[in-house]
Structure formats: structure tokens, C-alpha cells
Structure 1
Amino acid sequence: MRFLMALFYLWEICRILNREKKGLTEDSISEELQKLVTRDYSSNISKATCNRAISWLYFSGIIAFCVEITEMDILDFKAASRCYVMDVGLANYYLTRTGTDSRVLTGTLNENFVYINLKKRQDFPQEISFETPAFATYRGGEIDFVVQSLQSSTRYLVEVISGKGTAGTALKALEHGKVQKLLYLKGGMDGKSETILIYMLERYSFN
């Protein structure tokens, strides 16, 4: 029964992944899910029930969390501000069934893929800092991921770009000296900004 309930919540988590990239509107993933579920299905589902379902998904390795760094201040962070599905195939299955259009689906899956790659780099032997991957807000905008090398302490902004996107917030943070490098995941190099095809991320070294 708990397994079925957890998978039901996974459906709603995928809906959250498709939203505008502003993190959660509520204070926690549990409260965000509870709001969605009570609005769409039943008002009798409690926060404790949501917590149990999320815990099951997390400890089963199905989802993992992302920290929010506020205004690019490493000391000002909000834990578990976003979550991702730890299997791209499973994410694709649920996202497709929520009615996601192809453009949004590609962008969400690409970002999910990058999250999984960064999460692996925090396992032993650890390559990058922080307990979990992190995204950031800065001057009214958002940056997909913030990465810091353990070897050199070089700080990167990572942007998963689709179409002709330019990641204006990340460029602004780079220009203001908040980080040393900006990595575009799409496909060149311009000064401090690098662009690589997303499937080449596995071979990229943060150093």
C-alpha cells in the first residue's frame, strides 16, 4: 500500500519538475505535495502522510534533493528546496503521462540527467563540494546548478541550455565575480564560458 501511495506522489513530483524554475512555493517538498494532492484529489491527506511517502521514495533511491543557495551566498541555503528522479527513464515515464509537451520534456529530462551526474560526483571519491547538488537564485533570476571543485575550490555555474537560451542570470553572476567559471551544457568556449554537448558531461572534469 505504501509503495502504491509513494508512486502516486512521484506523479505529483514530476508535475512540480515541470513548473517554472523557481523552486518550491511552499516551505518544504512535503507541503508543496500536500497542496497539490489536496487540491486535485482529496483534502483528507495529511502532511505526515506526505512525509512518509517522500521518505520512502528518498530512502529507496527513487528521488533525491537539491539545495537552494539564496542570492549566490553559500552560507544562505535552503535544504530540500527541489527534488529530482534518480532514473531518467522513470522520470520520462511519469513526465510523459502528465501531458508534458516535447520541448518542456526534453529540458526537464536534461536537467534531471545533469543532477544525477553531479550527485554521482559527490560519492566517494568525491570530486565536488556540498552534501547534495545545489541550484541558486540571484537578483530575481535562477541558476540551474552551482558546483565547486574540491581540488581547486573553483566555483562553477552550470546551465542546461535549450534552443538559443543565454542564461542571463548566470552571466550576471559571472560578471559580478560570484564564480570563476560558467559551464553551458549544450554545445564552444567564449572567455570564461564553456559550452559542451550535454552527453559529454560524463567526461568533463571540474578542476
Structure 2
Amino acid sequence: MTIQYTPLSALPYPQPTDPADLPAHLKGLAEAADGRTVLRFADAAARDAKVTAPVAGMIAWIGTPGRMMYYTGSAWVPVAPVPVFKVNLDGGETNSTAWSETLTNAVGDPMVASFTAPASGQVIVSVGGYIFSSATYGSYMSAVVRTATGAVHLAASDDRAALVNTPSRASVSTQFLVTGLAPGTVCSATPVYRSAIATNTATFDTRYIRVDPIP
């Protein structure tokens, strides 16, 4: 059989001189086109079990969490990364000078924002809320970024924190760039809080965290 291929997608088709074997011709065409369609799977595990040798440019719909993914040549990543936003309207406080993911007298902590790292491996993390101090000492709100294994990728820092050092209630926020994430992996960002000194009560209310993937 003399196989010819279409110029753009390299799909096979028979020649007039080939023996008539319609099932074989259709099978060859279907197999060639199979990996060029939008594949559909229940989840990433089902996709990886079926597509054991993906090639760059493949597209797959993942039923859970409901996302279109494409293969870059090294990882499956979202076709159109979308922001992840978490908010907690419940207020709380802390006297801890070490970073903490939970506040006293608050519910809903820790506030974990899970996201899929984009092809660039970069995201912008924003945190903020209404913050005030019981005295003229710092009340800090930052975030810790973790990999899919739970390992800390980027620790919280005063340099990446929303800060208030007055008893006057203020709406403040900060944002920072995170780089070096493994594309296609599910990571997380979690707000953390601390007080400059143990005698200061740092209070936080209407808190939020947002993760913006950079394509």
C-alpha cells in the first residue's frame, strides 16, 4: 500500500492504485486523527493512564475539576489559566510573632487557594484585608506558597506582607511574583499572619487571597 499524507496534519489516505480495503483505510485515518481531537477524560489520572506518550499540542478536557488542558511538550497545563480567589469575612486576631495560618476567634482558617501552575511557572499572589493593631506595632499579613507535595516553595516574609502599625483600622493589600513553579502541578497559596511583638494584638478582618497565573 502506498500511503500519502495531507500537507498540514499528516493524515494518511490511500491511493487509487491501492487494494480496496475500506476498514484498514478508515482505521489508519481514525488512529491518525485520534490524538488531534479534543480528548475527554474524567480526571488527570484517567488521562495519564490512557495517554502514556503525549506530544506537544495535544488538548484534553478534564472533567474534574472541569478544565481544558494542553501538552507543552513537557507538562499538561491549563489552556486558559484563570485566577483563584478566596475570601474570609470572619475576623480574628493573633499575638504570635511567628507566622500562623490561623487566627484566634476566627472560623474558616487556613484559607488555602489551590491552583495549577501555568506553562510559565509564574503566578502573582495578592493578599489583603482590614487590619489594625492594639498598639503602634506591626500587624503583618503575607502568604506561603507550597508545591504539590506540600513542600514550601516560597515562605512568608515581612517584605511580602500587607502591614498596619496603628490602632486605626485600614484596608491594605500587597502582591508579589512567584517564579519557578513546576508547570501543570497543583500548588497552593495560604495567607499567614503575625504580630511584631507578643504584647500587640494584631487583628484581621474581611481577608482575601488571590492567585493570578501568568500564561
- The answer to whether the superposition gives a TM-score over 0.5 is no
Higher relative contact order (CA 8 A, sep 6+): 2
In the superposition, the TM-score normalised over structure 1's length comes to 0.25
Structure number with greater Rg is 2
Give the structure with the higher percent helix: 1
Which structure carries more strand by proportion? 2
What TM-score, normalized to structure 2? Answer: 0.24
